[in-house]
Chain A
Amino acid sequence: MPHHLLGVPGSYPLVVALWLLPLGGAIICWAFGPRLRTLAGWLASGLVGASFVLAALSWSAATQTAAGALGASQALGSWLPGFDFGLLLDPLSLIWTFIITGVGFLIVFYSTGYMEGDRAYARFFAYMSFFVFAMLTLVLSDNWVGLLVGWGLVGLASYFLIGFWFERPSAVAAARKAFVINVVGDAGMMFAIFLIVANVHSIGFGDLFASAGGLSSTLLFWICATLFIGAIAKSAQVPLHTWLPDAMEGPTPVSALIHAATMVTAGVYLVARSAPLWDHNAEARLLVGAVGGITALVGAILGTAQWDIKRILAYSTMSQIGYMIMAVGVGAYEGGIALFFTHAFFKAQLFLGAGLVIHALNNEQDVRRMGGLWKKMPFAFWVMLTAVLAITGVPGFSGFFSKDEVIYGDLQFGHPVLFAISALTAGITAYYMFRMLFIAFFGEYRGDVDHAHAPGWKMNVPVAVLVAPSVAIGAALLSGGDNSPWTRFFASQFGREVAAIESHRPPAISEGFTSGIVFALVLIGFAIAWWRYASAGAQSKAVERLERETRAMPQVLVHLFYVDDAIQLLVVRPAQRLGAFFGALFDPHVIDGAVRDVAFWARWLGALVRSFQTGLLRAYALILVFGATCFIVYYAFAAGALR
């Protein structure tokens, strides 16, 4: 395979092609809009699919390169010395590229059915293609500024798609919130870039990693911490997570692609990408691990108190990403990325399955008004069931292997507290996922849609395709411990650092034992969910029981731990008050008041002088004579003429 473009040595043209194809789709869909009709959907999914094929073709280039080089690269241009831009395809970015284009293709294809008849059909596919392009920019960049550009652009795509149905005020507000919180993250990352460029004089990843060992630990901590602000905002970590549940205002395929499978995992990518920095700084590690662990737990707890099917899934996403962040934080990069990889499949499957239900029930999202759906929609039920089994980590399913690696990673890298948190979270996860499944699919139907209309093949096929990896890919890639295909795949990426940290001390408990503990907790969670929602007693008076549960929900959960209220009270309100004060009082009264004071004194002085101007000609003449006399007398005496 030729590894150069236009004579640039070491360049790899396929990367450019797979990067730009979705952008082409976005521009065409945007420019020609409604005139394309259904062609827009075919075009967008075709181009994303072509991108996926190119990514597959790039497999060998990304993994089998000369020693020392990370992967296939392609220089693009330069702003200034030190500001060089290029694309980089190495195992890490390849995995993300696979998910973005592969799962992306399936979801875009699904959307051609889901969005049928929408009045902005072409615009939707323009935004989706643009998102894929932006996300590829994020993961393929070989430098911090390119990463930040992708970071900002995925935020924009997410904004557009959350607010896609912009006649709904709630969607508009959710989009605004998501955008502003993401800009908070961008600002944090910008600060990290200032620190990096001021000290390394280059924006390239390689230049920073090469000199990471020589930087002071305080500086490294601040670089890591400010980078991590970006990850907190983008990956919905505590305390900047509140935009993610609101983001469910967007169409369901958007939630599946952006707010579950890809964009929200960008924080995981960021930490994994800058692994050499974290490897040199234990404090930053602890920060990331702790935030991830807390988020996993908080997300899971909030997930138990939701009634909207998409919000349940949103909180579960938040919790799972907390797991991933925790894993890459403590140093278990392979585990974190494995969870990202498997999560992309089963969470996309969950959302698309929920999309089947929502679509069939005329946009009903409240699980209290579902029930008994397994009879009405058996296909959707089996899809959801396999995905739930995968996400809860039932042995054999893909989630089992990845989650196991994450949870065991905590112990492996010496964080028993995080281990306890994540094991507990696994139990809660089982509870709320089965809770959703039981309420929505078991018992009797409680809604008022008489005739659930069946989704077409365009929606069913992608979901069916997703079932295979979410069930089996874990066993295929992740089994085998340190010798699994997965670990070997990342050997060149993280091998060195992991070896360095693994020399810590081997944990006293074996992996099999922790799996047993976690599985026991999962079973407990399942049992509670069964007892509360699926047992014969629970089924008998389901409507009343759910109503009672809604009323008895603790206030702290209803208010989602008061995070939104706190942000509103501490940040938004004061800013608005201050702005109103400056605009309505300070500007017109203090600043302009001072200016008016100057004018007042000028007028006062004028009034004083005016009183001499009588307008009497003879008076002027008298004054003139008087003045002249004074002059003459003065000069006569001063000059001594009359002496």
Chain B
Amino acid sequence: MAVSIDHYVGLAAVIFFIGVIGVIVRRNPLIMLMSIELMFNAANLLFIAFARVWLHNAGHVFAFLVITVAAAEAAIGLAIIVTTFGPERYVDVDDVRALHG
């Protein structure tokens, strides 16, 4: 049985939703960052898969762009985590509520 585009789409959807649920459910910011990476990679997977289907290079280009943005995002995210990392050596995003209305 050949691997069709549907399989790729299905796998990407599964990975994406794992990421979504990870962001919503987990309170550890490191895990949340990793979940976001999962969502990025689900999108990347789709880009590559469809680049192949359409025989068009734009998908590759976008995948690289996403990887770059993801790297930048991880850098900023980790920096934020470090600044909120208090003396108790434990971070819970629910405790970071400075922007509540």
Within 8 Å CB of A625, what residues of B? 20, 24
- Residues of B contacting A613 in the complex (Cβ-Cβ under 8 angstroms): 99-101
- Tell me whether B89 is interfacial, beta carbon within 8 Å: no
Are the CB atoms of B99 and A618 closer together than 8 Å?
Answer: no
Q: Are B24 and A614 in contact (CB under 8 A)?
A: no
Q: Is the CB of A611 within 8 A of B23?
A: no
Does B98 reach chain A (CB closer than 8 Å)? yes
Known: A610-B101, A618-B24. 8 other contacts (CB 8 A): A609-B101, A611-B101, A613-B101, A615-B96, A615-B100, A617-B96, A622-B24, A625-B20
What is the minimal beta-carbon distance from A625 to any residue of chain B, in angstroms?
Answer: 6
> Contacts of B27 on A, CB cut-off 8 Å?
618
Per-residue A-contact encoding for B27-41, CB less than 8 Å = 1, 0 else: 100001000000000
Question: A80 near B: Cβ within 8 Å?
Answer: no
How far is the CB of B98 from the nearest CB of chain A, in Å? 7
Ordered nearest first, which 5 A-B pairs have the shortest CB separation?
A615-B100, A613-B101, A610-B101, A615-B97, A617-B93
* Chain A residues in 8 Å Cβ range of B101: 609-615
Among B72-101, those with CB < 8 Å from A are: 93-94, 96-101
Decide: A614 and B100 in contact? CB cutoff 8 A.
yes
Flag whether A509 is at the interface (Cβ < 8 A): no
CB nearest neighbor in A for B100 = A615
> B97 touching A614 by the CB < 8 A rule?
yes
Asked if A621 and B23 make an inter-chain contact with CB atoms under 8 angstroms apart, the answer reads yes
B97 touches A621 (CB 8 A): no
Q: Tell me the complex Cα distance, A497–B24, Å.
A: 107
Q: How far is the CB of B81 from chain A (nearest CB, A)?
A: 12
Shortest Cβ gap from B85 to chain A (Å): 16
Instruction: Give CA–CA (A609, B101) in the complex, Å.
Output: 9
- Say yes or no: A621 contacts B24, CB within 8 Å: yes
CB pair A616–B97 under 8 Å, yes or no, is yes
Please tell me the size bucket of the interface on A.
10 to 19
Alpha-carbon separation in the docked complex, A615 to B27 (Å): 14
Give the tally of cross-chain contacts (CB within 8 A).
36
What A residues does B32 contact at CB under 8 A?
Answer: 617
**Binary B-proximity of A595-638 (CB < 8 A = 1, otherwise 0):** 00000000000000111111111100110010000000000000
**Least distance between A131 CB and chain B CB atoms (Å):** 74
A-B contact pairs, 19 of them (CB 8 A): A609-B101, A611-B101, A613-B100, A613-B101, A614-B97, A614-B100, A614-B101, A615-B97, A615-B98, A615-B101, A616-B93, A616-B94, A617-B93, A617-B94, A618-B24, A618-B25, A618-B94, A621-B24, A622-B24
- Least CB distance from B24 to A in Å reads 5
Interface string of A47-63 (1 = CB under 8 A from B): 00000000000000000
Q: Which residues of B contact A622 (CB under 8 A)?
A: 24
Complex CA distance for A615 and B23, rounded to whole angstroms: 15
Cβ of A618 and Cβ of B93 under 8 Å apart? Answer: yes
User: How far is B20's CA from A622's CA once the two chains are assembled, in angstroms?
Assistant: 9
Report Cα–Cα, A617/B24, bound state, in Å.
9
A621 to B32, CA, bound (A): 11
- The distance from the CB of B10 to the nearest CB of chain A, in whole angstroms, is 16
Complexed CA–CA distance, A617 and B91 (Å): 13
State the Cβ distance, A615 to closest chain B Cβ, in Å.
Answer: 3
A264-280 at interface with B (beta carbon < 8 Å): none
Least distance between A632 CB and chain B CB atoms (Å): 12
Chain B, range 58-80, C-beta contacts under 8 Å to A: none
Task: Point out the residues of chain B lying under 8 angstroms from A614, CB to CB.
Answer: 97, 100-101
| B99 neighbours in A (Cβ, 8 Å) | 613, 615
Q: Mark A138-153, 1 if CB is under 8 A from B, else 0.
A: 0000000000000000
- CB-CB nearest in chain B for A613: B101
- With a cutoff of 8 Å between Cβ atoms, the chain B residues found around residue A617 in the complex are 32, 93-94, 96
CA distance A616 to B99 in the complex (A): 9
Inter-chain contacts of B94 with A (CB < 8 A): 616-618
Complex Cα–Cα for A612 and B25 (A):
20
Cβ–Cβ < 8 Å partners of B100 in chain A: 613-616
Residues on B with beta carbons closer than 8 Å to the beta carbon of A612: 101
A170: shortest Cβ distance to chain B, in Å?
A: 67
**How far, in angstroms, from A422 to B29 measured CA to CA in the complex?**
109
Closest to A609 in B: B101
A612 to B27, CA, bound (A): 20
Collect the chain A residues with CB atoms within 8 Å of residue B23's CB: 618, 621
**Min CB gap B42→A, angstroms:** 14
CB distance from B83 to the nearest CB of A (A): 15
